[in-house]
Amino acid sequence: MNKMTLASGTSIAYVEAGKGEPIVVLHGFCGSHRYWDEVIPLLAEHSRVIAPDLRGHGESSAGEGTYSMERLSEDLAGLLDELNLPQIHLIGHSLGGYVALAFAEKHPERVLTLSLAHSTTFPDSEQAKENRLKAAETIAKEGIQSFVDGLVPKLFTAEHRTALSEQLTKALRIGYGTSAEGAIGCALGMRERPDRAAVLERLAAPILLLAGELDEIIPSDKRFPVTRDNVSAHTLKGVAHMGMMEQPQAFAEVIKAFLERNREG
């Protein structure tokens, strides 16, 4: 585990593996770099993979207030500057996808390819916004463990909740490591995020939209918002919201094939 203190004073923890063109993978809400444990070795066969903990998650520092997607994306920009990485292949899972979109909006020239996994460009519905407030209230009153116990099982398929009990347990333990401030800050930040379909419509870099067939978090009508020549869409069969943990081999193969088609040179 490495740690970098940014100019903003935020301490970002990250792991890295492999050599070659840099790939940055961003985890989802109440996750950490450990969401990618089984995928990183597969991607690192031909690339340098960097997996940070988002602000308030894992071993990165936290603070009170709303964690806007723009704020989190600037943490990423600061980390890349410190690592002297002007351009990256960027992969974002769920919340990480929202952060990746904000980054691509402000720094399109730094994005070699963009992959959104189990994520969407759409903003929260009014009901979802209310649910974010309820989540923040629950975490503030009851603590992070109670909230994570209610959240994480919904991320897996009904079958995998039993068949992959080891992975589910791991995801729960990762979630417990999220700071209350980080979870509240991200819930409020996701609540206020705008529609970013225009980012995909403008971005010149190749784009991959990777969805889970059985995802209960991202409904089917919000998975593939843009159709363009530079956009690839793929659905993982038998997977819900956690493809990198439910079917890491299949997940990685889709990513690797996409990157192979779109590497420079």
Domains of the chain: 2-262 (3.40.50.1820)
CB 90 within 8 A of CB 103: yes
Q: What is the pTM assigned to this prediction?
A: 0.95
Write down the pLDDT at residue 265. 43
Number of other residues whose CB lies within 10 A of the CB of residue 142: 13
Evaluate whether 81 touches 36 at the Cβ level (below 8 Å). Answer: no
Whether 69 and 190 have beta carbons less than 8 Å apart is answered as yes
Say if residues 23 and 50 touch (Cβ distance below 8 Å): yes
Q: Side by side, which strands form the sheet with 207-212?
A: 2-5, 11-17, 48-52, 22-26, 88-93, 111-117, 207-212, 231-236
Up-side HSE of residue 238: CA atoms within 13 Å toward CB?
Answer: 10
In terms of Cα–Cα distance, which of 39, 79, 88, 15 is closest to 263? 88
Query: Helix 180-191 vs helix 69-82: angle between axes, to the nearest 10 degrees?
Result: 120
In angstroms, the CA 186 to CA 35 distance is 17
Rounded to a whole number, what is the largest CA-CA distance in the chain?
A: 53
CB neighbours (10 Å) of residue 150? 12
User: pLDDT in tens for each of the 265 residues of the chain?
Assistant: 999 999 888 999 999 999 999 999 999 999 999 999 999 999 999 999 999 999 999 999 988 889 999 999 999 999 999 999 999 999 999 999 999 999 999 999 999 999 999 999 999 999 999 999 999 999 999 999 999 999 999 999 988 777 768 899 999 999 999 999 999 999 999 999 999 999 999 999 999 999 999 999 999 999 999 999 999 999 999 999 999 999 999 999 999 999 999 875 4
Nearest to 107 by CA among 44, 229, 24: 24
CB contact burial 28-64 (16+ within 10 A = b; e otherwise): bbbbbbbbbbbbbebbbeebbbbbbbbbbbbbbbbee
